[in-house]
Amino acid sequence: MYRIFVLLMGCCFSLNIHAQLKVQFQCQNAVSGKAVPGVTVTEDGKATAMADTSGVAVLLVPAGTHHFSFSAVGYEKAQLTIHITHDTTLVIKMGALAKEMDEVVIVATTRNNQSIENAPIKVEVLGKEEMNEENGIRPANIASILGDVSGVQIQQTSATSGNSNVRIQGLDGRYTQILRDGMPLYDGFSGGFGILTIPPLDLQQIELVKGSASTLYGGGAIGGLVNIISKRPTAAQEGSITLNQTTLKETDANVYLSKRYKGFGYTLFGGYIHQNPVDVNKDGFSDVPKLNSYNLHPRLFFYPKNTTIILGYNGNMNHTKGGDMQVLKGSSDAVHQYFEQNNTTRHSGELVVEHHFDSGKSLYFKNTVSDYTNDFADAQLNYKGNQLSYYSELSTLIPYGNKNSFVGGVNVTGDQFKATHQNQLIPIASLNNNTIGAFVQNTWTIKDQATLELGLRDDYHQKYGNFFLPRLAFFNRFNAHWATRLGVGWGYKVPNPFTPWYMDYTPDKIAALPASITPEKSVGYNAEINYKLDWEGGNSLFINQAFFLTQIKDPIYGTINPDGTLFYQNGNKNVLSRGFDTYVKAKLEEWELYAGYTYTVVTRNYLPQQQFMPLTPRNRMSFVLARDFEKAGLMTGLEGSYNGSQKRLDGSNTPGYMFMAAVIQKHLGDHVTVVLNCENLLNYKQSNVEALYTGSVTDPQFKPLWAPIDGRVVNLSLRLKL
């Protein structure tokens, strides 16, 4: 019996020695308590894990004493020695090296967990703080905050529907690729009302790349890329309700809830917008359409060993109707008949799997399927179009050596469009696009001061064949104050008749693509120099001077046929966009200043005359001045932008104009925030200069828009933090 007892004890002792215990580290900013993503966990000098975007890293270790080190860009190195006897969760407080947010923001768009400051590709980030502020100012969508970025122009393409697109560096909106969590959802026919259906309360941050970015995410990012990053749950319960009312008869209500538990987490966003039609300039037509919009975005997060699994659904129903005010009031007659109605629905599902190996390597799988339908009607046409889009990707991130990294992956993307009509033939009844691609990217760190990045992508399109896209980027920090970036990248865009134009055209007015049309190909160059200065009291100054040049070969442009349809064809000479972008960011005690100036010249060399790009200001300036009275719980801000003269389609010049806005935000305790905001303080409208339409009331022909049409707007919002 004694020998058996000794044998059993020995077996138990052996099992205890070899048992693997689960240790979970929650990496947090030592001051704010916010999650710190991208933290590398090492033991005995060997990388063992990397924290995910929620700041969580998981290890399996044997029982005993362990010495861990924690490092992340922009943070002081942390160390921990602990004797581990059971599964445990530990909070690791990371001290920031500097107070500048630019030091610690980790970007997702570059795919390799780089800091915003040292990324070879220039990525501009509108972070969680900006999203919270925008939620109080413009809770309905992100169009306004994107337009505040220098070099980015939000152009309204329809006076009746209110639809808009994002233009970067003076190029058309079809050259800007819109991503949601790194996946394309807003292209072709499904691009309609894209940014108008995304509220800021649901977002962690927005990342912008100006210039060619097609190597990592495929065709379309010739002018630039906008990556919209959704929130993820943290260990702290988060809940907020935003209620908003404007003087233009808009009512908003948004709710967000999230929480992360040990092996499970969730986020839930729900939103509703109601807008009554308003005729601001009293010409008989709505300048703001009637709108009812519903948003629902639940996501479930599961955290098995070293893995994050995300299951999500995103649903949006958007009902707009604009046009003759008598029609909108239900009083149409033989003269008052004009209206435009868009009933859109978007249902998207996502599956994301992220696995982090003990060696620091990561494996990612992303998949999304999106179904978009637009039921369109006007006085002459009833039309229903549907686009089913899909995207699947498998990729890996492999850190190695001294801060070097390798990224590689494959993806499949495509869409299927079908249309039905009731009362007349339409030129495009169906359309398909399918592309398979592979990409690699290697990043070398040279003596901790310079970074060289080489990216290669090869795409194969079912109809247009093969596209090879190299990219080279270089970053060098000369010292604590000066740094520079250089880059060149190739891109392409396959023809799609539904991509954004400077005006919206009804489906019966878009001609089918000719058989001879070919894809557009581009090469883009960028160069910049940065200066940064920090001094006592948390004060700082940052200056960025950037230069850009993009050349598009075989550009696709539209002409109007005698029957009034929009016909696309290739130009035999290039489109050339070039200019420079200057911005200054400064913090002095409680004051913050952002000022930017963009000079852009775009020429369409395929035209024999009037080679200008219409509706593109050559000179654009903007600024934001804000002060935070922390003790009083008060924040005030003033922003403005000057848009220089633009060319109309006929070559005539528009006047330049100034746009101003002001905001006051007050915290009432820890749970209530009140925001009073005024947009377009100077009440500048395009209708102050010219009529918005020509022709008759029965059949109006609306002009392209180059300035606001909704005038001065005041809104009052209330945010409740649960």
pLDDT (0 to 100) of residue 507: 84
Buried b (16+ CB within 10 A) or exposed e, 181-200: bbbbbbbbbbbbbbbbbbbb
Q: What mean pLDDT is predicted for residues 558-578?
A: 92
pLDDT (0 to 100) of residue 40: 86
Within the chain, how many helices (H) and strands (E) appear? 5, 40
**Amino acid, single-letter form, for residue 382:** N
pLDDT band at 12 (very low <50, low <70, confident <90, very high): very low
**Dist CA 107 CA 122 (whole Å):** 10
**Dist CA 219 CA 237 (whole Å):** 39
CA-atom Rg of the chain in angstroms: 27
State the DSSP H helix or E strand holding residue 309, giving kind and residue range, or none if neither: strand 307-323
pLDDT (0 to 100) of residue 3: 41
pLDDT (0 to 100) of residue 7: 37
pLDDT (0 to 100) of residue 34: 77
Residue-wise pLDDT for 414-424, tens only, equals: 999 999 876 66
pTM over 0.75: yes
Q: What mean pLDDT is predicted for residues 439-463?
A: 94
Residue-wise pLDDT for 346-375, tens only, equals: 999 999 999 998 778 999 999 999 999 999
In the predicted structure, residue 147 carries a pLDDT above the cut 70:
yes
**Dist CA 99 CA 663 (whole Å):** 25
Residue-wise pLDDT for 88-118, tens only, equals: 889 998 887 644 333 446 678 888 877 777 7
Listed range (1-15, 307-321, 331-345, 671-685) with the worst mean pLDDT:
1-15
In the predicted structure, residue 300 carries a pLDDT above the cut 60:
yes
Q: What mean pLDDT is predicted for residues 288-313?
A: 96
Q: Where are the alpha helices (DSSP H) in 220-317?
A: none
Mean per-residue pLDDT of the chain: 90
Count of C-beta atoms within a 10 Å radius of residue 657: 21
Q: What mean pLDDT is predicted for residues 221-248?
A: 95
Question: What are the angstrom distances between the C-alpha of 97 and each of 41, 72, 112, 479, 526?
Answer: 18, 10, 21, 16, 29
Pairwise pLDDT comparison (37 vs 439), residue with the higher score: 439
Phi, psi of 7 (to 5 degrees): -65, -45
Which range is most confident: 13-27, 62-76, 591-605?
591-605
pLDDT (0 to 100) of residue 6: 37
**Dist CA 680 CA 686 (whole Å):** 12
**Dist CA 126 CA 343 (whole Å):** 31
Question: What are the angstrom distances between the C-alpha of 69 and each of 25, 82, 85, 359?
Answer: 11, 12, 19, 14
Q: Is 296 exposed, middle or buried (0-12, 13-18, 19+ CB in 10 A)?
A: middle
